[in-house]
Structure 1
Amino acid sequence: MVTNLYFVRHAHSTYTPNELGRPLSNCGRQKAEKVTQLLKDEDINYVISSPYKRAVQTVEGISRLIEKKVMLVDDFKERKLSEEPIRNFNVAIRKVWEEKTFSWQGGESNVIAQKRGVNATLKVLEKYEGENIVVGTHGNIMVLIMNYFDEKYSFNFWEKLDMPDIYKLVFEKKKLREVKRIWSEEFN
């Protein structure tokens, strides 16, 4: 029995220091509408999301379409890079990808963040076997989850993601069988 997970990286957000409440920008809201249009014919059964507002806002259109609430799952939130703001984000993020067990003070290593995201994914696969599920999430945690199932999804892959971006992961039980990108440049 096949289970399809549609991982949706959130659309562009307006920066605020409040990670949980950061909303989509005007551009992000327009792109979230395109996410809904792309997923409307995929026979979606459930919508799950990180509790972060920008992730919820990106997938709430499809939840309205199927007339089901967005279910919040804390473990799909973005990886915490550091307790304090990072001066050079690119250097900081590259370091945690190069050294999987390294973490900045108060942050999560790749190993810890990946374990959290994968555990959440495995629970979804078990609970909703045979269904089509949208998962609203974030770029780094999404790629860490994908990397667990196939190491070709790496830092270089993460760097090329769009905002938003959609990847359909096809599973048989808990084995990844196929990955297909749903988003494309024509929607940017």
Structure 2
Amino acid sequence: MGSLTTVYFVRHAHSEYSTDELGRPLSKKGLADAKRVAKRMEKESVNIVVSSPYKRAIQTVEGIAGYFQVEIEAIEELKERVLASGEVSDFNTAIEKVWTEETFAWDGGESNIIAQKRGVRALFHLLKQYENKNIVIGTHGNIMVLIMKYFSKEYDFYFWRNLQMPDIYKLTFEGQQLQAVQRIWEDHNG
């Protein structure tokens, strides 16, 4: 067994919906959940914290970065997939369509395959740059599952639909080979 790199995908907590993708903040519930995320991650060992540049993703991993006294590096390629350039009339139909046909893109949006390539490229760069380290990635549901799907088909539309907000998945890599995936977030209702 060679050297292992651990990646913690932290899907952002609940945010107030608005059309401002970049600046949309966490809701009150989201902020409370982000504190629980930080608490859960204290049991792990973290060297690096990177995030999507979107505020809701950064806010979800801020507590982790604070606890481990590291800066958060925002990585443009880790932003959420762009579904379309404007509002879609029916989000559920729009999202199901792109997951059913991976090369299909709505106007001004990214297809699954394009978004996946972008996310995987960013991940491979991190695996190389921070080999043997433990990396937290503040991320979003779609882009996270698309990256995971690159390694295994089981990470599909239904997997995405069943994600929690927030959620944490621990992925272990040897080089660029995915060895194991473990969900380490415990659901709390309330």
**TM-score scaled by length of structure 1:** 0.98
Cα RMSD after superposing both structures: 0.9
Sequence identity, in percent?
54
1:174 paired with 2:179, answer no
- Match for 1:155: what amino acid? F
Name 1:74's counterpart in structure 2: 76
Show structure 2 runs of 5+ residues with no match. Answer: none
Are positions 1:97 and 2:99 aligned together? Answer: yes
Aligned counterparts, 1:43-122, within 5 A: 43-122=45-124
Q: Give the length in aligned residue pairs.
A: 188
Q: d(CA) in 1 for partners of 2:39 and 2:128?
A: 28
Alpha-carbon shift at residue 187 of structure 1 (Å)? 6.7
Q: Deviations over 1:157-188 (max 9, x none)?
A: 00000000000000001000000001122376
**Structure 2 counterpart of 1:21:** 23
In the TM superposition, what whole-angstrom CA distance separates every residue of 1:91-131 from its partner, at most 9, and x where no partner exists?
Answer: 00000010000000000000100000000000000000100
Report the Cα distance in structure 2 between the residues aligned to 1:159 and 1:186, rounded to whole angstroms: 18
Q: What are the superposed Cα offsets for residues 4-29 of structure 1, whole Å, 9 maximum, x if unpaired?
A: 00000000001121110000000000
Which structure 1 segments of 5+ residues have no match? none
Contact 1:13 1:25 in 2 (8 A): yes
Distance 1:185 1:60 in 2: 20
SS in structure 1 at match of 2:70: coil
C-alpha distance in structure 1 between counterparts of 2:188 and 2:94, whole Å: 32
> Structure 2-normalised TM-score?
0.97
